[in-house]
Amino acid sequence: MAWRWFGLVAVAALIVAGLSRSIGLVEAIALVAAAGATAGTAWLPLRVVRIVAPLLLGGLLFSLTRNTLTLLGALCLALLAIALGMAKASGAVLRRIMFIIPSLGLLIFVTTLLMYHAPGNPFAGERIATPQVEAALRAQYGVPESALEFFQIYVRRLLLEGNFGPSIKVQGRSVGELLEPAFPVSMALGLLALVIACAIGLVLGIRAGLRPNSVSDYTSMGLAMIGLSLPNFVIGAGMIIVFSLYLGWLPVAGWGGFRHLLMPAFTLGLPYAAYIARLARSGTIEVMQQDFIRTARAKGLSETAVVLRHALKGAILPVVSFLGPAAAGIMTGSFVVETLFGVPGMGQWFVKGAINRDYAVVLGTAIIYSALVTTFNLVVDLAYAWLEPRARSEL
């Protein structure tokens, strides 16, 4: 045991020594310590997790909802989350919640370090500001010259005030005011793309898996390989040429209704439909060789009933495991697609914030996307446990 701890300390010291050359000694120590604390949540005793995780979740919900709900409503929501967490949640779910909270803190810290150590700063424009003017602007927007100080100011504002702070480049607007109308647009685009990916991928994959080495199998997997080979901006440009410029069925870009949503959603979803098709094919081939399938056929059930009642759950298990990373890829991939199609989602603000060094906007979009991805992963774990009874003991 002593040698294990000595090895961990030695590895941490080497990482600190390597990072300190680029980001500074204090920031390197803080980064390694934060990463170690986040990873260490997996080894906390369960009795500690059952108490601390619901409290952390309730405190986070209260901080983030007290401005949108009334103070009493946010307090009731936090107390309800704490009570449900302590009474109903399993140990594995609480451990996932326990991991989510420090991982969000680590995300904020790493994003802050990357922004601060990138060339330029929010106040470096065409007109060079005097040191006195720049100091006044930094004090006004809460952007000190140290990344550690900015991290402390930002987290304090996030927890105590419950908002993402003011935008540095968009005068007189807060980050919440910028992202509030963009969030439903990105969510609608991402969810429709995920539905399209699942629908197309499952149909192609299950059809190919039911008839392996047939024309249907080769055709489905050929389409999947094409989807895997083409990046989404190439798919998007091709769809614009065919469906907008040549056929005139859909608008080229912009936002105004369901027709504007179709091409961006298909552009986002088609590459992931290819992955899902391959996973569904392998899952279907495997499950159709199981003994319970032979038993169902021996009872005289039709092939359709065998597939829908008995084989489908097992066939989509690999797909369910993939949906967490797929949701993450679709959400982050929307940056490019939203820019290509002129969709007014959160991707535009992430790109503009990165270009303009608008730290608060970049952090706000990163936090929202990270929260969505971790929530999707938790939902996927619960869905997997529902489909696979042997996994329920872990949740």
Domain boundary among 179, 202, 234: 179
- The CATH number assigned to the domain holding 339 equals 1.10.3720.10
Strand partners, 166: 174
Would you say residue 370 lies in a domain? no
Would you say residue 300 lies in a domain? yes
- pLDDT, residue 63, reads 74
pLDDT digits (tens, 9 = 90+) for 26-83: 777 787 777 777 877 778 888 888 888 888 878 877 776 776 777 777 788 888 888 8
Extended beta strands in the chain, E state: none
Residues 172 and 187 in one domain: no
- Please compute the mean of the pLDDT values over residues 185-207 and round it to a whole number: 85
Query: In angstroms, how far is the first alpha carbon of the chain from the final one?
Result: 29
Which amino acid would we find at residue 27?
E
pLDDT digits (tens, 9 = 90+) for 328-353: 777 766 777 887 888 888 877 877 77
Would you say residue 293 lies in a domain? yes
Contact criterion met (CB below 8 Å) for 61 and 101: no
pLDDT digits (tens, 9 = 90+) for 132-159: 777 777 777 777 777 888 888 888 888 7
Residues 21 and 166 in one domain: yes
Residues 192 and 287 in one domain: yes
User: With 70 as the cut, is the pLDDT of residue 212 above it?
Assistant: yes
Residues 137 and 208 in one domain: no
CA distances 30 to 35, 98, 111, 214, 259, Å, are 9, 20, 14, 57, 48
Residues 81 and 190 in one domain: no
Mean pLDDT of the chain: 77
User: With 80 as the cut, is the pLDDT of residue 306 above it?
Assistant: no
% residues pLDDT > 70 (the chain) = 90
Residues 76 and 219 in one domain: no
- pLDDT, residue 295, reads 76
- Please compute the mean of the pLDDT values over residues 175-181 and round it to a whole number: 81
Residues 26 and 163 in one domain: yes
- Please compute the mean of the pLDDT values over residues 223-229 and round it to a whole number: 77
Q: Quick check: helix, strand or coil at residue 89?
A: coil
- pLDDT, residue 174, reads 80
Residues 49 and 31 in one domain: yes
Q: Which range of residues forms the domain containing residue 116?
A: 2-179
Residues 269 and 323 in one domain: yes
Q: How deeply is 184 buried, as exposed, middle or buried, from its count of CB atoms within 10 A (0-12, 13-18, 19+)?
A: exposed
Domain count, the chain: 2
Residues 151 and 187 in one domain: no
Residue 321 pLDDT grade (very low, low, confident, very high; cuts 50, 70, 90): confident
What are φ and ψ of residue 174, in 5° steps? -90, 165
Residues 155 and 7 in one domain: yes
Residue 276 CB partners (closer than 8 Å, separation 6+) = 197, 198, 200, 201, 202, 205, 319, 322, 326
Residues 147 and 240 in one domain: no
- pLDDT, residue 384, reads 65
% residues pLDDT > 90 (the chain) = 0
User: With 70 as the cut, is the pLDDT of residue 278 above it?
Assistant: yes
Domain boundary among 164, 179, 194: 179
Instruction: Tell which wins on pLDDT, 102 or 305.
Output: 102
- Please compute the mean of the pLDDT values over residues 315-325 and round it to a whole number: 77
Contact criterion met (CB below 8 Å) for 267 and 239: yes
- Please compute the mean of the pLDDT values over residues 296-306 and round it to a whole number: 73
- Please compute the mean of the pLDDT values over residues 315-321 and round it to a whole number: 77
